Amino acid sequence: MSGHVVIFITVESLVEPTKNQAAVSCRGVTKTYGQGNAAVQALRGVDLEVRMGELLMLVGPSGCGKTTLISVLAGLLQRDGGDCSVLNHDYKQMLLNETTRFRGRNIGFVFQTFDLIPALTAAENVATPLLINGVKRRAALEQASVVLKKVGFDDRMIRSLPADLSGGQQQRVAFARAMVHDPRMIVCDEPTSALDSESGHMVMNLMRQFALGKDRVLVVVTHDDRIFEFADRIARMEDGRITRIENPPGRGNEPQKNP
Ligand code: ADP
Ligand code: MG
């Protein structure tokens, strides 16, 4: 096993989308849960484009399909029909292990219930995406601490277990974990619901910086009109479809064509 030099030039590195290009492009995306009488049509033909460098908020009544849609975008759930490209990748064209690897590198997910691992400290929870990507434990924990300090954690909180943290603190850990590996896309499900106004703004400012920074994109599901001002655009969802795209308050409210 010597004398061979393997050079990887992945297609991925040749077609990375850059600022203002489409990060997400969905046409007629459908998803049904269950079968027969029990079938629930959660997505009924979603058309949506999200650009690189954009923070898009997704708003709509409970049950309209928001969580389903962002799970499809994050590659956690397979769509039934329609076309969907995320960072120039189509999950349907990828093998399971390719999807897992792609997600590990490129996607950060903040779940509604945080989904922190109870037996791990805040720093260890935040370090998991780095460990999955092969970063050594010590370096991963250091990097995790740096991000946790950005969301206002001190040394004692960094070493705390989730059970010893408040809801708002746990939510900030979930945020830090979504950002720590510098993914190209972050999707968040109702991220500020447990945060008071001040921590909510701190977290949203970090998210904005993230979206502005490089070729990054954020899709945030929210009911929280306090954070609408952080959006570049707001997509309204109803009954399994995107019905309108709006500008956030104060930036002109003329409805935009969903491009
Ligand atoms: P939202 O996040 O907007 O509240 P969801 O995407 O969670 O909406 O759900 C959309 C619809 O799909 C709802 O009617 C919900 O009850 C249904 N649903 C969601 N997840 C499942 C599931 N795992 N099995 C069956 N039905 C589901
Ligand atoms: Mg939901």
Q: Does the CB atom of residue 90 touch ligand 1 within 6 A?
A: no
**Is 34's C-beta closer than 6 angstroms to any atom of ligand 1?**
yes
Packing angle, helices 197-213 and 167-179, rounded to 10: 0
Q: For residue 121, give every residue at least 6 positions away whose Cβ sits within 8 Å of its Cβ, in sequence order, or none.
A: 158, 159, 160, 161
Tens of pLDDT, residue by residue over 103-138, are 999 999 998 888 899 999 999 999 999 999 999 999
Tell me the CA–centroid distance for residue 68 and ligand 1, in Å: 6
Going from the Cα of 112 to the center of ligand 1, the distance in angstroms, rounded, reads 13
Residue 96 has pLDDT above 50, yes or no: yes
Q: In whole angstroms, give the CA distance from residue 112 to residue 228.
A: 18
**Whether the CB of 241 sits within 6 Å of ligand 1:** no
**Residue nearest atom 21 of ligand 1, based on CA coordinates:** 33
Sequence letter at residue 228: F
Residue 16: per-residue pLDDT: 60
CATH superfamily of 11-246: P-loop containing nucleotide triphosphate hydrolases (3.40.50.300)
- Ligand 2 ion: residues within 5 Å (CB): 66-67
| Distance from C-alpha of 119 to C-alpha of 68, rounded to nearest angstrom | 28
Give the pLDDT confidence of 59-93 residue by residue, as tens digits.
999 999 999 999 999 999 999 999 999 999 999 99
Determine the average pLDDT of the residues in 14-42: 87
Helical packing angle, 167-179 and 137-150, nearest 10°: 120
CB 52 within 8 A of CB 19: yes
Q: Which of 10-14, 142-146, 191-195, 196-200 has the lowest mean pLDDT?
A: 10-14
Could you tell me if the CB of 68 is within 6 A of ligand 1?
yes
Q: Where are the alpha helices (DSSP H) in 6-136?
A: 11-14, 66-73, 96-106, 122-132
Count of Cβ atoms closer than 10 Å to residue 6 Cβ: 4
pLDDT at 13: 44
| Per-residue b or e along 100-116, where b marks 16 or more CB atoms closer than 10 Å to that residue's CB | eebbebbbbbbbbebeb
Q: Answer whether 33 contacts ligand 1 (Cβ < 6 A).
A: yes
Residue nearest to atom 13 of ligand 1 (CA): 63
What span, in angstroms and rounded, lies between the C-alpha atoms of 162 and 245?
37
Ligand 1 atom closest to the Cα of residue 64 is 3
| Nearest ligand for residue 62 CA | 1
Determine the pLDDT at residue 11. Answer: 46
The closest-lying atom of ligand 1 relative to the alpha carbon of residue 43 is 10
Please answer whether residues 224 and 57 qualify as being in contact, where contact means their C-beta atoms are separated by less than 8 angstroms: no
Residue 9 has what pLDDT? 47
**Chain length of the chain:** 259
Q: Is the pLDDT of residue 188 over 90?
A: yes
